[in-house]
Amino acid sequence: MKNRIIIIAGPTAVGKTKYAIEVARNLDGEIVSADSMQLYKYMNIGSAKPDKKELLQARHHLVDEIDPREPFSVARYQKLAKAAISDIFARSKQPIISGGTGLYINSLIYDMDFSAPPAESDYRRELENLAAINGNEYIHERLANKDPDAAKRIHPNNLKKMMRALEVIENSEGRIMPFENSFVKTTDYETEIVCLNRERQELYERINIRVDLLIEQGLVGEVQSLLDMGLTSEDISMKGIGYKEIIGHLRGEYDISEAIDQVKKNTRHYAKRQLTWLRRYENAKWFNLSEYDNDEIAIQEILTWLQKRK
């Protein structure tokens, strides 16, 4: 039987970390993060990284590994994640992919060619990372600001065309890399996708509670320490939700209450975009966690479904 990976996906604050850990514990697995922020070092609070206790419950890969001052791309993520998956398989363990960054998940499901001409690689890498962190809508808004007519013609889901249009605007010439044109599933392994969701009001309440907790845990101080390290709002890592809004507060653009409101609002919008992305996976199995009396019952049902899929 071919090896399989299990993807535990869902919007931010839905509870992926807990569920991925329980699946890993029950299936002798190890977790490979598919979160565009949790892979960065020093960014522990705003990224809602697994805490020390959670990290001890299951081995994690691609968490707290990349310096936020380094350039990082989806292509590099794919290379690192596939290396981790191969290592997990080699030790007869079960790879569990946990996260909500759509481009990262796609890079593991499909055979995607990330080769790019040197002349356009830096700008394309920036656009890919912005899409990974903030969603396709962010790129569409960027295009709308630069070329409203192009934005009207190009659907927000068509990341490839949006990036091409922006490259033209930025006077990037030469061959354009085909990015997401094939969607041919990888033959490296089989893939099972578990998508977690909650009723909208419950999910939004969880987001609000999480943001308040991040502030209590010291998010403002974390952002200040990153700025003291030399990072700026221009660094891709600092464009993540929770970081960019606090930077504005630290610049004196608005008070902390306004910053908190912005983080909550932007996180809710991001969760909505994540759900739109995940609904494209036709073979995914969805679990509405709001329908279960407790997490343990939901986890058992997920495990039962995975066992039947073997």
Q: Tell me the HSE value of 208 on the side-chain side, using a 13 A CA sphere.
A: 8
Q: Are 124 and 61 in contact (CB under 8 A)?
A: no
pLDDT for res 149: 79
Residue 189: burial class (beta carbons within 10 Å; 0-12, 13-18, 19+): middle
Give pLDDT tens digits for 256-302: 999 999 999 999 999 999 999 999 999 999 999 999 999 999 999 99
Q: What angle do CA 277, 281, 287 make, to 5 degrees?
A: 90
User: Between the CA of residue 117 and those of 114, 124, 177, what are the distances in Å?
Assistant: 10, 10, 7
pLDDT for res 171: 52
- Rounded to the nearest integer, the mean pLDDT of the chain is 91
Q: Are 97 and 32 in contact (CB under 8 A)?
A: yes
Give the tokens for residue 65.
């590994």
Give pLDDT tens digits for 180-212: 444 789 999 999 999 999 999 999 999 999 999
Strands (E), the chain: 4-9, 29-33, 60-61, 94-99, 190-197, 285-288
Q: How many Å apart are CA 303 and CA 297, to the nearest integer?
A: 10
Does this model's pTM top 0.75? My answer is yes
User: What DSSP state is assigned to residue 262?
Assistant: H
Lowest mean pLDDT segment, chosen from 61-75, 115-129, 154-168, 265-279? 115-129
Question: What residue segments make up the domains of the chain, in order of their start?
Answer: 4-111+186-308, 118-169
| Residue ranges in 50-199 assigned as alpha helix (H) | 52-57, 74-90, 102-109, 118-134, 136-146, 148-153, 159-169
pLDDT for res 95: 98
Give the tokens for residue 249.
């507060």
Q: Name the residue with higher pLDDT: 154 or 121.
A: 154
Band the pLDDT of 22: cuts 50, 70, 90.
Answer: very high
If one counts every other C-beta atom within 10 angstroms of the C-beta of residue 142, the result is 18
Lowest mean pLDDT segment, chosen from 105-109, 127-131, 213-217, 302-306? 127-131
- CATH fold of 4-111+186-308: Rossmann fold (3.40.50)
User: Between the CA of residue 110 and those of 13, 126, 190, 214, 273, what are the distances in Å?
Assistant: 26, 21, 11, 34, 20
Mean pLDDT score, 51-73: 95
pLDDT for res 122: 75
Band the pLDDT of 113: cuts 50, 70, 90.
Answer: low
Mean pLDDT score, 225-243: 96
Q: How many Å apart are CA 287 and CA 189, to the nearest integer?
A: 23
Q: Are 16 and 100 in contact (CB under 8 A)?
A: yes
pLDDT of residue 166 exceeding 80, the answer is yes
pLDDT of residue 160 exceeding 60, the answer is yes
User: What DSSP state is assigned to residue 62?
Assistant: S
Q: Name the residue with higher pLDDT: 139 or 310.
A: 139
What distance, in Å, lies between the first and last C-alpha atoms of the chain?
9
- CATH fold of 118-169: Histone, subunit A (1.10.20)
pLDDT of residue 48 exceeding 70, the answer is yes
